Each structure stands twice: as C-alpha cells, then as structure tokens.
C-alpha cells in the first residue's frame, strides 16, 4: 500500500537566518483532513533530482495547528545536503512540490504537561510547533534549552523573545552559544535538568547533542515514557510510490532471499496494539507480514512514512513478546533496549505480542 501524496503550492518563503528558510504551503481543497497534524510532526517532501528522479526528505513542521496559519516547515542547509540546499536556493512562492501527509510521534501526550525542551540548531523546528501550540492550548510550564554555534545561527530568535515576554510565567528560554560558552557538558546539562525531574523531556538536534542529552536524562532516571527524541535520516527508498528512483528497491522476493530475518514462528501470532486509546486485537498475524501491513489489512490507520525502516514515524513500544525487524537504519541500541521497534519492519517472533504507539 503506497501513501497518497498531494501536490502543494508554496505560498511563502521566509529567511529565518542566512542558512535557514521557512517554507509555507497551501492545503488543496478536499485535503484538509489529510493534513491535520499534531505539534512536533513532520512532512516528507519530494525534492526533484536529476540523478535519482526525486530525493525524499523529512522536515519538521514549525507551524502550529492551533492558529489556522499555513502549513510550514523550516529547513536549514547542511554541508553537501542536496535537498536542503535546493529548497533554500530554489523554492519560491507559486512553486509546487509533492508532499506526504504529516507523520511522526514526537508530540506531547498532554499540552498541559510541564515540558523540558532541548534543541540544537535546526532541532528547534518541531519545538517551535510544540511551544506555539502548548502556549495557546495548554496550561503547563515550558523551559527551552537552545544550543547554537553563535548568535547569527539562532533560528526564530525574535519570536522566542516575543513569546517569552508575553508568557513570562510559562515560557523560559535558555540560549547556549558555543562561541561564548563552548559546548555544553554532561555536568551542565545534568544540573539544568535535575531541577525538573517530573517534567516531560523532548530533544532534537545534531546526533552528538542528542546523545549527550539522552544519556543525561537516563542518568537522572527520567522514565522512558517521559524521554522523547526526534531523529531523521536521508530516505534511501521512495515512499511516494512511483518508479522514479535511479536504483529500484529490491523486490519482496529478493529481500526475502537476502536480508529479511525469519520470524521463527510456524503459525500466526496474537496481537494487541494500542493506538490513540483503542486496543486492536487479532489472532491471525501472519509471521511473514509486518505489523504495519497487518494493522492496515484490518482497517487500522497506523502511522508511517517511509515504509523502509529509515525513519521513526511508525515506532511502537513492546509491552509483551518480541518481534524481528527486517531492516533498521534509525533505532540505536538504547532505543532497542527500551523496547522501541519499527512497525513497518516488524514481524512476530513470539506467539503473543503487545505493543503501544505511545
């Protein structure tokens, strides 16, 4: 089953910093429901490429679903990053792009919770969506630790200043500049987070920054359900469902022959999957069918994006049993140890499997 894509028109491009642009899209008539989103989710864009036909890239939404404004992603250039440079250099109002509906699970369970946000560089993008929405619709306190190379690199600086001034009792922004303070240390992050052990923590940014933050939170014994991180990789597959890539993905038969692990089950498994407060149960999960495919066959609209094991949009947490993943390019050892699995790649390895999408 391919994801339905939509052609969206660019309505605005804003230069946030010399290296970052916010791109706003108009939602086509009739597609409003498909583009409803939660703060912290992302869009997958089909960036044209002379070499491969398209480059599928995921970019976080910085807009808020609360204010009715246009759908907006914020993109920062990366060194040798074809897609990010093409977007920053090329896109203008009136241009069109193919886009997949919002996806991802990097979103607060409650906007009334106290939120501890760690952002590094362009990792501020989903945080802006969360901050804007939580201030408008929630009641909790928000503290943002925002690390950047220098003052010139700070994305959304004027708006963060404005929001903090308008909500002094709810929003506190801590700017950390490498040019002034050096890189933050584990001891400094630990002292910062130790005052907020009961808060819900979210982290997004460069890999070394996220690794340091998550290790600090684990050391402080933040429970797994209150530790969240967002990570993206460049998608090698084509989630848009057409044969425009220069190198086609292997067929199912080729994948079975090459690197698809066997589940080890001789017969169907029992599944309990909790999604949006509803528990979906079945006794006929075929060991050769992924969790995502099985749920879809039963009419469940489970989240996903790339279907290639290259993003975390379909992530679930194991509550009982075990699964085998055919492919995994995004989950690290700590994620796996915490029970996180990719539904688009998971087949049952035990007679009973219980998972949750929270």
With 80 as the cut, is the pLDDT of residue 192 above it?
Answer: yes
Give yes or no on whether 6-103 and 252-356 have one common fold: no
In terms of Cβ atoms closer than 10 Å to its own Cβ (0-12, 13-18, 19+), residue 221 is exposed
143-157, 185-199, 255-269: the lowest-pLDDT one: 255-269
61-65, 78-82, 237-241: range with lowest mean pLDDT = 237-241
Work out the average pLDDT over 271-275.
95
Topology of the domain comprising 6-103: Elongation Factor Tu (Ef-tu); domain 3 (2.40.30)
Residues 106-110 have a mean pLDDT of: 91
The stretch 306-314 carries a mean pLDDT of 78
Question: What residue has token string 């700017």?
Answer: 175
pTM, two decimal places = 0.77
Report pLDDT digits (tens) over 15-60.
999 999 999 999 999 999 999 999 999 998 998 877 667 888 889 9
More confident residue, 20 or 332: 20
> What's the pLDDT at 263?
57
Q: How confident is the model at residue 260 (pLDDT cuts 50, 70, 90)?
A: very low
**CATH no., domain 115-230:** 3.40.50.80
- Provide the CB-side half-sphere exposure for 110 (13 A, CA): 10
- Domain boundaries, given as residue ranges, for the chain: 6-103, 115-230, 252-356
Q: Partners of 89 in the beta sheet?
A: none
pLDDT of residue 251: 29
Over range 106-118, report the average pLDDT.
Answer: 95
In the chain, % helix, strand, coil (3-state, to 5) comes to: 25, 30, 45
pLDDT, greater one: 277 or 174: 174
Higher-confidence residue of 313 and 42: namely: 42
Element holding 9 (H helix, E strand): strand 6-17
Under a CB-based contact definition with an 8 Å cutoff, are residues 348 and 272 in contact? Answer: no
Architecture field, domain 252-356 = Roll (3.10)
How sure is the predictor about 246, in pLDDT bands with cuts at 50, 70 and 90? very low
């Amino acid at each position: 089953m391919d994801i339905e894509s939509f052609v969206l028109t660019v309505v605005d491009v804003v230069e946030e910093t010399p290296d970052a642009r916010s791109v706003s899209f108009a939602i086509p008539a009739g597609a409003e429901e498909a583009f409803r989103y939660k703060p912290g989710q992302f869009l997958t864009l089909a960036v044209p490429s002379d070499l491969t036909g398209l480059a599928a890239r995921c970019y976080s939404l910085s807009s808020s679903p609360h204010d009715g404004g246009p759908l907006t992603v914020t993109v920062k250039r990366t060194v040798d990053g074809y897609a990010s440079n093409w977007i920053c250099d090329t896109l203008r109002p009136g241009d069109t792009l193919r886009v997949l509906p919002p996806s991802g699970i990097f979103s607060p369970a409650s906007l009334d919770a106290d939120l501890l946000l760690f952002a590094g560089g362009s990792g501020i993008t989903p945080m802006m969506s969360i901050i804007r929405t939580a201030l408008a619709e929630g009641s909790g306190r928000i503290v943002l630790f925002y690390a950047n190379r220098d003052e010139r690199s700070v994305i959304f600086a004027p708006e963060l200043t404005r929001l903090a001034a308008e909500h002094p009792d709810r929003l506190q922004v801590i700017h950390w500049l490498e040019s002034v303070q050096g890189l933050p240390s584990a001891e400094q992050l630990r002292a910062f987070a130790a005052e907020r052990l009961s808060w819900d923590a979210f982290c997004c940014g460069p890999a070394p920054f996220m690794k340091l933050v998550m290790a600090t939170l684990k050391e402080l014994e933040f429970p797994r359900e209150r530790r969240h991180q967002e990570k993206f990789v460049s998608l090698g597959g084509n989630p848009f469902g057409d044969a425009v890539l220069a190198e086609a993905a292997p067929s199912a038969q080729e994948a079975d022959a090459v690197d698809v692990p066997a589940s080890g089950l001789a017969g169907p498994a029992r599944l309990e999957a909790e999604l949006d407060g509803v528990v979906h149960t079945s006794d006929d999960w075929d060991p050769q069918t992924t969790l995502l495919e099985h749920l879809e066959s039963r009419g469940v609209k489970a989240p996903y994006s790339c279907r290639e094991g290259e993003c975390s949009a379909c992530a679930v947490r194991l509550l009982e049993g075990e699964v085998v993943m055919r492919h995994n390019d995004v989950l690290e050892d700590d994620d796996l140890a915490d029970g996180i699995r990719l539904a688009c790649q998971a087949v049952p390895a035990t007679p009973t499997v219980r998972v949750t999408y929270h």
